[in-house]
C-alpha cells in the first residue's frame, strides 16, 4: 500500500467531514482554487528547548510535503505553507513572534512548545482570535477549559503519577527535586510530590534554579549537600534525585560528575530531558547519565501505528536522530490545522475552536488518536521511559520500558 493510500485510510473520518462541508471541491472547481493555506508555527529552534524545536521543525516539513502530496493527488491546486518563527526558548520572544504572525493574518499557530511560552502568549492569542495548537506544553496550570490553547499532549498530572509510581516500584522512599523555577519545572515537581507522598514517599526541600542562569555550579553543589544529608539518614539505595530540566541537563550532569555522592543515588528525569540531543552529544554529561542510569519519561511513541511505520523513519532519517515524540504530535498538528482552516468560518474564533474539537475527535495520526479532554488537552496517553546507554564509545537513548494506563491502572511493560 502506498503512503498516500495509508494516510488517506487513516484520515478518512476527518476527511469525510471536510468533504461533506464542501471544503474540497469537485475536480473541475478545485483546480482554480490555488490559494495557499498558511499556518504559523512558534518553535524553539535555539535555546534550552532547541532539541524539541529542531525535531518539530523537521516533522512539520515532512507533514507539509505529505499534505501537499495529498492535495495534488486530489487534483487540487491548494498547498499548505508553514511560517516558522524561532521563539529562542524565551517567553518574551515568543510573544513578539506571535504578534508578527498575527500581522500576517495567521490565525492558526502550532506551538508554542514550552509551557512558559504558552502562558506568555495565551492572553494575546485569545484577545486576537488566534488558535494555538501546542504539541509539547504540559504544565497542569494551563489545563483550562474553553480557552484558545489546545494541547495535543497530556498534562503533567499524568507524568507526576507515572514518575511517583516508577520510583516507588524501584524502592525509592526519599526524593530530592531539582527543577527550573518556572511554570513547567515547579508545576511538574509539585505533581510528582503530590503523587509520591500519596504513596507514602518523602519529598525533601529541593533545589530550584533560574533557567537564564549560565552557571549552575552553586545549585549543583547545594544538591550535593542535600544528597549527602539524605543518605546519612537513609539507605542510599532508597534516595533519588528528580531533575525537571530542558537542555540545561547537559551542564547539570557535567557538573554533577565531580561529586561522588551524586553518582551513588538514583536519578529520574522528565519529558524535558528525554531524547535530548545535546545530552548524548556531550561525552562528559552522557557518561554520567549512563553511570546513574537516569530514567526519563515522555509521551509515548505508537510504534505499531501504520502511519508511524511509514512516516517515522522519514523524519528520523532527515533529522539524523530519533526525534522526541513531541515532534510526532507536531506532524499531526499540521494535518489538523490544515483541515481546521478549510472547515472553519474565516476570522471566527468560535468556529475555529469548534473545528479543532470536531477534528481532533476523529483524527488518528502518527501519534495515535488525538481526542482531547474537557480542558483541550490530550485525553488518552502512554509514556515511554528512556535511559542513556553507551556502546563502543558513543552514547544513545534507549527505551527502557513503557507505561500504559488501562482501566485507571498503570501497567509497566519492559
73 and 209 part of one domain = no
Pairing of strands 409-413, 207-209: unpaired
Same domain, 72 and 166: no
* Strands lying side by side in the sheet with 296-299: 296-299, 382-391, 394-406, 409-413
Q: What is the pLDDT of residue 303?
A: 67
Enclosing domain of residue 371: 3-155+301-381
Q: What is the pLDDT, as a whole number, of residue 238?
A: 97
Burial of 145 (0-12, 13-18, 19+ CB in 10 A): exposed
Provide the pLDDT for residue 256.
Answer: 98
Query: How many whole angstroms separate alpha carbon 372 and alpha carbon 134?
Result: 12
Q: 124 and 220: one domain?
A: no
pLDDT along the chain (414 residues), means of 10: 44 38 36 73 96 97 96 91 97 98 97 97 97 97 96 96 95 98 96 97 96 90 98 95 97 97 97 96 96 95 80 95 94 97 87 94 93 96 94 92 74 76
Residues 229 and 173 in one domain: yes
What single DSSP character describes residue 114?
A: S
143 three-class SS: coil
Q: How far apart are CA 290 and CA 303, in angstroms?
A: 25
Q: For position 103, what pLDDT does the model report?
A: 97
User: Is the distance from CB of 156 to CB of 190 less than 8 angstroms?
Assistant: no
- Considering the domain architecture, whether residues 283 and 341 belong to the same structural domain is answered as no
Query: Is 285 found in the same domain as 172?
Result: yes
Both 139 and 24 in one domain: the answer is yes
At residue 23, the pLDDT reads 37
Sign of CA dihedral 342, 348, 353, 354: negative
Number of domains in the chain: 2
CA-closest candidate to residue 257, choices 226, 297, 290? 290
pLDDT of residue 5: 43
* Cα–Cα distance for residue pair 123/138, rounded to 1 Å: 18
In whole angstroms, what is the distance from residue 158 CA to residue 410 CA?
A: 10
What's the pLDDT at 414? 66
Angle 286-331-274 (CA atoms, 0-180°, nearest 5)? 20
> Do both 340 and 211 map to the same domain?
no
Same-domain check for residues 103 and 168: no
Instruction: Reduce the DSSP state of residue 325 to 3 states and report it.
Output: helix
Concatenating the DSSP letter of every residue in 344-395 gives SPTT-HHHHHHHHHHHHHH-EETTEE--B-TTSBB---EEEEEEEEEETTEE
Q: What's 295's DSSP letter?
A: B
The predicted structure's pLDDT at residue 163: 97
Distances (CA, A) of 267 to 144, 166, 289: 32, 12, 9
Do residues 253 and 390 share a domain? yes
State the distance between the two ends of the chain, measured CA to CA, in whole angstroms.
32
Q: How far is CA 173 from CA 14, 176, 196, 197, 212, in A?
A: 47, 10, 9, 9, 32
All three cell numbers of 111: 506551538
CATH code: domain of residue 188: 3.40.50.2300
pTM comes to 0.90
Dmax over CA atoms of the chain, in Å, equals 78
Same domain, 96 and 199: no
Q: What's the grid cell of residue 63?
A: 507533514
pLDDT of residue 134: 97
Same structural domain, 81 and 228: no
Task: Compute the chain's Rg from CA coordinates.
Answer: 22
pLDDT of residue 214: 77
Q: Which residues contact 79 (CB under 8 A, 6 or more apart)?
A: 34, 36, 37, 68, 71
Closest CA to 182 of 147, 219, 221, 138: 138
Amino acid at each position: 500500500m502506498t503512503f498516500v493510500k495509508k494516510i488517506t485510510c487513516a484520515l478518512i473520518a476527518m476527511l469525510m467531514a471536510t468533504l461533506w462541508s464542501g471544503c474540497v471541491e469537485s475536480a473541475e472547481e478545485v483546480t482554480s482554487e490555488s490559494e495557499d493555506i498558511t499556518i504559523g508555527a512558534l518553535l524553539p529552534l535555539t535555546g534550552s528547548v532547541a532539541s524539541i524545536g529542531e525535531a518539530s521543525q523537521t516533522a512539520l516539513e515532512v507533514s507539509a510535503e505529505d499534505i501537499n502530496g495529498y492535495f495534488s493527488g486530489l487534483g487540487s491546486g491548494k498547498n499548505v505553507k508553514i511560517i516558522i518563527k524561532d521563539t529562542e526558548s524565551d517567553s518574551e520572544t515568543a510573544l513578539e513572534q506571535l504578534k508578527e504572525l498575527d500581522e500576517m493574518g495567521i490565525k492558526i499557530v502550532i506551538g508554542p512548545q514550552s509551557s512558559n511560552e504558552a502562558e506568555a502568549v495565551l492572553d494575546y492569542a485569545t484577545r486576537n482570535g488566534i488558535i494555538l495548537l501546542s504539541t509539547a506544553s504540559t504544565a497542569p496550570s494551563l489545563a483550562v477549559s474553553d480557552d484558545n490553547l489546545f494541547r495535543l499532549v497530556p498534562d503533567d498530572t499524568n507524568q507526576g503519577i507515572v514518575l511517583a509510581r516508577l520510583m516507588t516500584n524501584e524502592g525509592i522512599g526519599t526524593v530530592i527535586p531539582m527543577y527550573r523555577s518556572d511554570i513547567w519545572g515547579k508545576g511538574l515537581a509539585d505533581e510528582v510530590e503530590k503523587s509520591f507522598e500519596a504513596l507514602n514517599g518523602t519529598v525533601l526541600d529541593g533545589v530550584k534554579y533560574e533557567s537564564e542562569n549560565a552557571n549552575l555550579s552553586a545549585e549543583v553543589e547545594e544538591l550535593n549537600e542535600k544528597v549527602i544529608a539524605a543518605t546519612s539518614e537513609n539507605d542510599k539505595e532508597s534516595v533519588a534525585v528528580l531533575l525537571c530540566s530542558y537542555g540545561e541537563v547537559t551542564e547539570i550532569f557535567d557538573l554533577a560528575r565531580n561529586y561522588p555522592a551524586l553518582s551513588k543515588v538514583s536519578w529520574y528525569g522528565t519529558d524535558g530531558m528525554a531524547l535530548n540531543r545535546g545530552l548524548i552529544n556531550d561525552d562528559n554529561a552522557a557518561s554520567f547519565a549512563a553511570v546513574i542510569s537516569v530514567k526519563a519519561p515522555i509521551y509515548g511513541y505508537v510504534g505499531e501505528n501504520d502511519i508511524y511505520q511509514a512516516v517515522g523513519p522519514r523524519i528520523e532519517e532527515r533529522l539524523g536522530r530519533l526525534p522526541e515524540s513531541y515532534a510526532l504530535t507536531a506532524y499531526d498538528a499540521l494535518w489538523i490545522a490544515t483541515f481546521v482552516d478549510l472547515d472553519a468560518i474565516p476570522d471566527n474564533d468560535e468556529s475555529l475552536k469548534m473545528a479543532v474539537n470536531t477534528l481532533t475527535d476523529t483524527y488518528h495520526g502518527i501519534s495515535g488518536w488525538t481526542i482531547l479532554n474537557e480542558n483541550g488537552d490530550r485525553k488518552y496517553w502512554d509514556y515511554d521511559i528512556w535511559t542513556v546507554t553507551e556502546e563502543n564509545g558513543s552514547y544513545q537513548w534507549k527505551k527502557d520500558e513503557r507505561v500504559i494506563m488501562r482501566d485507571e491502572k498503570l501497567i509497566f511493560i519492559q
